[in-house]
Amino acid sequence: MEKEKNPGSRLIFSSVLEPKDDLEEKCERFYAVLTSITNGLSERECNDALNAHVGKGPNQHEEIQLGQLYAILVEPKMAAKMYRDMTLVSRDGMVLVQGFLGKIIHDKWLKILQPVKVQILWLMREFVKNAVVGSDGTCFALIRQIAGGDVSPKNLWLAEQMLDLLSENRAWLERFPTLMAASVYTYLRIIIDHGNPAYANLRNREVEFCVSLLRDKFIDCVNIIGRDLARVLQNVARIPEFEKLWRDIMYNPTSLNPNFTGIVQLLQARSSRRLLMSRLTPDMENKLMFLTTKVKFGQHKRYQDWFQRQYLSTPESQSLRCDLIRYICAVFHPTNELLCSEIIPRWAVIGWLLTTCTSNVAASNVKLSLFYDWLLFDPDKDSIMNIEPAILVMYHSMRPHPVITATLLDFMCRVMPNFCPSLSVQVRQGIYTSLRSILEKRVLQSLSPLFDNPKLDKELRALIRENFIEFCSPDIVKEEASVNKDLTADVGESGNHIVEMSSLSDGVFSDDEDDIPLGKLVGDTKIKPFRNGPRFQPIDITEHIQLLQHELRQLTIELQNETDQEVQCEIIDKLVQHILRDEDFDQDMASTLAICLCQILGHLFMSNLFPQEVDEESIEDSIGTPLFVIFRNFCSTAEEDPIRQPLLFLMDEMYQKQPHIGYHMLYFLKVSKVNDDKMSSYRDFCKSLDGKDLESCLMNDLRICQEDDVRLFTYLLPDIYTHFPNIVIGNTELLQMIVSCIDAVQLQDLICQILQGHLIMFRKDSFLYVLNASLEWETIEQYFLWQLITAHSIPVEHIMPVLPKLEFCTHSEALASIMILLKQECPTAELLRPLMCREYKKQDLFTVSVMKNWAHEYEDRLAELLYNLLAKSNSTPKKRQRNNSAKRDNMPTPDQVLAHLDHMRVVCRNVSCKFLNHESMQHALQQVQMTASEVQKTKYSDLLALAEDFDDMKTTRVLRGRRTRDNSSTKVIKVKKEETESEASTSEEEDVKPKPKKRKKGSATTTAATTTTASSSSATSAAIDEDSD
């Protein structure tokens, strides 16, 4: 290989097949410039010449600085002199040098020649010794190149060199908490790789380094590293020094720090994604990201084989699997587009890592790494994406790899009591909370296929039911006659479900023949995407800053270098004022500046905007960041003022780069004291965006807000519904967005706003459309919607038109909610007619349940209404023709009414017998007997048999015949008049109004029915007279 090396390459390895690197060629050119300037000059003359050249501009400054850096790296004898000259001529405090050095360490470390690596470490020592600004970042880049699971000489050399550097400069290291925590986490992780006696000296020094820092800076390490600190400490717990540390953590936590309360505090702290990422070298991360973002499922085997040969082929490399799984679970969260694509999913990559693990110890650690975020899972602080891979790898492995599923289920059951016996209750609660979140977020529709899987052996099924009875099907058979023979063969002759992971080494998650069954297995499973990817992606903006005009460039650099938030706000204000004055500020300049600002202010989008404790002071603090200075200037500038246009250019470009700005502006307009016609500035802003209207902008901003912070999302809703009613009222997309993300506390907040009159979410003209659309939503979403409907006190008459579309078994959420509303109502003709119009089905208990309740609460009223309904249904064809067509369409047929009454007789025997013997019901049934066809009499014979026989039935009907007709005609006119007036009054209102107060049960209309001693003809006449009155 050395023979193939290009003799002209002194920095980065090159060969005949790999030409000289562009970065090296660039450095060589700069070194030639440096040499041409200083050649033949004395030391003082050199210094003057270099300063004069550097003073010409940033390009010349870059030439000299990088030329000197190249000389330091490739000419060790000149290093000391070149470093001194570099410090003398630097105009930016070595920022340029640090950035370039960090770039080649990050991108080119594996190809950098070993003598150059030695010089890089020498230069780092100089930077640290002189406390050069930014040297901590370069040091972090070097620490990241220390690979886990690698005991090659080069890796051991780097680990030892960095340990020397950090140990010798302990005071400097403690000034940078993140670097210090990263150093502790790195060496804790690689200690387990250095168990060979040949590395005993290095290992002892690593132990001493870690223990010393942990004891002095324990709370800093806890807060920065998070719960994964406990995981790596567990791996080294048998080392005496760490065993003593563990005793203090468990039994004497305040000895480490007065603010440390114990192991629970450590396990509840979220792990730093940056530190988890640091345990993969950049090259390793790039390969893994390519596999998980570019390779299609089914075409991944050769890439996985290459990765395994490159990084997982040695016995020591087995420990690297834990780092890979923690990265996949906690760092790499795929975007919506990726989740919906054909790219290999995360669970499949994890399955491959599990099946190719050949060490029992590593297998146990790998399983713990997979479930680590489950142990004390908190939905408010932890991401569902951290726990999603574990449940999916179990679910998708049930058919092709049942042993994987069995092993992981067994681990779940046993980790609860055994992880930490004193925390068994908290761990059990954490795992239960994880499973509930998985169901609530619809990662899986049900856990029953997994926990009630018949392929699992009896002992494991019993263990699962013992630990997870809440998530098992209640009707599952506890003991099955036989166990699947295939599973028995996989588990082994002992029949035990605990399988050593070494026996799985032949498993091939990547086999193409296994891919097809996996697709079939979960063809009907919907996995809901959760986020639109990271809120902030860091990029290098050096080149963009150079494109800005002089004053803008200076202000942007000041902003980039400033860390104090108040000073940043002042700089942003100066920058905005400059933009407002600058007549040459155009779209191109706005685009460049927007890239710079979005990067510099990127940290603002990484944390939640809405404060935990909501009061005037915390709200004011939340909008005290530089971003809101731009909003404040924009809102305070009149719409017709032409100087507002440059700001619009800038905000438009920032929105394109960072869409989260939209809801930040909505929040600012809600809480700020800017004299603005509420939301008019937001309307102007949306109007200026190319290709977007107000509705699409608003919906997109609300969607992003909902994904970032549900509390802020619900906080904004009252103002959104107040100021954008034409867009949001009746918008089913927004309503589903609301009910799909809120919890009980946020639902309560919304109901409070509704009852106070600050939030109106429904309007009459779109209400039925909302109800119809909601029938396809998830159960919890529908129930939350009905809670909001109930809070609005919407008259139940507005809901009844949807009733004919509802099926008892399919639309149980809507029917259950309507039943509860009807239970609180007094029966009326308008409510009874839709009930009776429902098609009778034996299993449909909706109508009969409502009628039974009304029969108990409003017996007389319901009997009277049913009598009138049957009387109208049995009226002559001539009379029916006099009714308008709409009324005729809404009128139930005699068969429908009789079918529901007969159903009530069968289902509610005690109540129905009493109710059907009511005098009005007796008259109604007797009238049906007189007019019913033979088919109806046969079909409803048991119901009609309840009608009493009156000896003078025919005489009675003759005596009252004329009066009945007169009263019937009067009643029809009266009913028609009342319904016409009702329709006229309700059509005038646009919004759905609250329902009137419920009238007390009982009515004066039943007075005549109490005259029970009269003759049958007199009683019948009295009832009809009362009805006509």
- The tens digit of pLDDT for each residue in 691-720 reads 678 898 999 999 989 888 889 999 999 999
**Mean pLDDT calculated for residue range 515-539:** 39
**CA quadruple 464, 465, 471, 476: dihedral sign:** positive
| Tokens 């192991």 belong to residue | 263
Taken in order 806, 807, 808, 811, is the CA torsion positive or negative? negative
The SS3 assignment for 815 reads helix
pLDDT for 765:
83
Q: What angle do CA 76, 77, 80 make, to 5 degrees?
A: 85
- Highest average pLDDT, of 606-615, 784-793, 981-990, comes from 784-793
Evaluate whether 780 touches 440 at the Cβ level (below 8 Å).
Answer: yes
Q: Are 366 and 357 in contact (CB under 8 A)?
A: yes
Q: Does the pLDDT at position 881 exceed 70?
A: no
Average pLDDT over residues 447-476: 83
Over range 288-304, report the average pLDDT. 88
* pLDDT in the model for residue 80: 93
Cross-strand pairs, 12:
112
d(CA 355, CA 502): 9
Range of weakest confidence among 90-104, 236-250, 998-1012: 998-1012
The pLDDT of residue 969: 37
- What's the pLDDT at 616? 86
Q: Report the C-alpha gap between 128 and 135 in whole angstroms.
A: 6
**pLDDT tier for residue 1003 given thresholds of 50, 70 and 90:** very low
- Residue 195: per-residue pLDDT: 87
C-beta contacts of 334-340 below 8 A and 24+ residues apart: 334/292, 334/293, 334/533, 335/529, 335/531, 335/532, 335/533, 336/529, 336/531, 336/532, 336/533, 338/293, 339/527, 339/529, 340/529
Least confident stretch, 318-327, 376-385, 984-993: 984-993
Give the DSSP per-residue string, 103-152.
HHHHHHGGGB-HHHHHHHHHHHHHHHHTT-TTHHHHHHHHHHTS-TT---
Question: How far is the CA of 691 from the CAs of 274, 279, 357, 406, 695, in angstroms?
Answer: 37, 43, 52, 52, 12
**97 pLDDT tier (thresholds 50, 70, 90):** very high
Contact at 8 Å (CB) between 99 and 92? Answer: no
Taking the alpha carbons of 36, 41, 43, 47 in that order, is the dihedral positive or negative?
Answer: negative
This model's pTM is above 0.75: no
Cα separation, 767 vs 747, whole angstroms: 20
| Cα distance between residue 362 and residue 316, in whole Å | 10
Q: What is the residue-averaged pLDDT of the chain?
A: 80
Alpha carbon 428 to its chain centroid, in Å, reads 23
Q: How many whole angstroms separate alpha carbon 351 and alpha carbon 371?
A: 14
Residue 466 scores a pLDDT above 80: yes
pLDDT band at residue 893 under the 50/70/90 scheme: confident
As a whole-number percent, the residues of the chain with pLDDT over 70 amount to 82
pLDDT beyond 80 at 673: no
Residue written as tokens 């719409």? 639
Instruction: From 84, 116, 80, 115, select the one nearest 101 (Cα to Cα).
Output: 116
CA gap 390, 357 in Å, rounded:
16
Q: Are 371 and 390 in contact (CB under 8 A)?
A: yes
Mean pLDDT, to the nearest integer, of 42-68?
Answer: 89
Cα–Cα dist 186/459, whole Å: 40
Half-sphere exposure of 859 (CA within 13 A, CB side): 11
Q: Cβ atoms within 10 A of the Cβ of 240, count?
A: 8
DSSP letter for 771, please. Answer: H
Tell me the C-alpha distance between 253 and 269, whole Å: 16
pLDDT surpassing 80 at residue 785: yes
Report how far residue 92's alpha carbon sits from residue 455's, in angstroms, rounded to the nearest whole number. Answer: 67
Residues 401, 406, 407, 412, CA torsion sign: positive
Q: Which amino acid is at 9?
A: S
The token pair at 836 is: 């009776």
Q: Encoding tokens for residue 304?
A: 């996985």
User: CA 244 to CA 238: how far, in whole Å?
Assistant: 10
Q: What is the pLDDT of residue 641?
A: 75
Q: Which of 597-606, 875-884, 1015-1024 has the highest mean pLDDT?
A: 597-606
CA distance 224 to 209: 18
Is the per-residue pLDDT at 970 higher than 80? no
Q: How far apart are CA 159 and CA 202, in angstroms?
A: 9
Cα distance between residue 621 and residue 609, in whole Å: 10
Going by pLDDT thresholds of 50, 70 and 90, the confidence category of residue 639 is confident
pLDDT value of residue 647: 86
Helices marked H in 497-602 — which ranges? Answer: 512-521, 542-546, 550-561, 565-581, 587-600
Q: Which residue has the tokens 């975020």?
A: 373
Show the tokens assigned to 877.
């064809």
pLDDT of residue 495: 33
Strand spans (E) along 474-529: none
> d(Cα 1003, Cα 692) in Å, to the nearest integer?
59
Query: 533 — alpha (psi -120 to 50), left (phi > 0) or beta?
Result: left
Judge contact between 310 and 176, C-beta under 8 A: no
275 to each of 189, 267, 272, 280, 777, how far by Cα in Å?
11, 16, 5, 9, 40
**Closest listed residue to residue 1027, CA positions, set 971, 972, 973, 977:** 971
User: Under a CB-based contact definition with an 8 Å cutoff, are residues 805 and 835 in contact?
Assistant: no
- Cα separation, 429 vs 376, in Å, equals 7
As a dihedral over the C-alpha atoms of residue 17, residue 19, residue 23, residue 29, rounded to 10 degrees, the angle is 170
* Spans of all domains in the chain: 1-132, 134-279, 292-521, 535-690, 826-961+986-1026
Mean pLDDT of 726-739: 91
Distance CA(825)–CA(123), nearest Å, equals 83
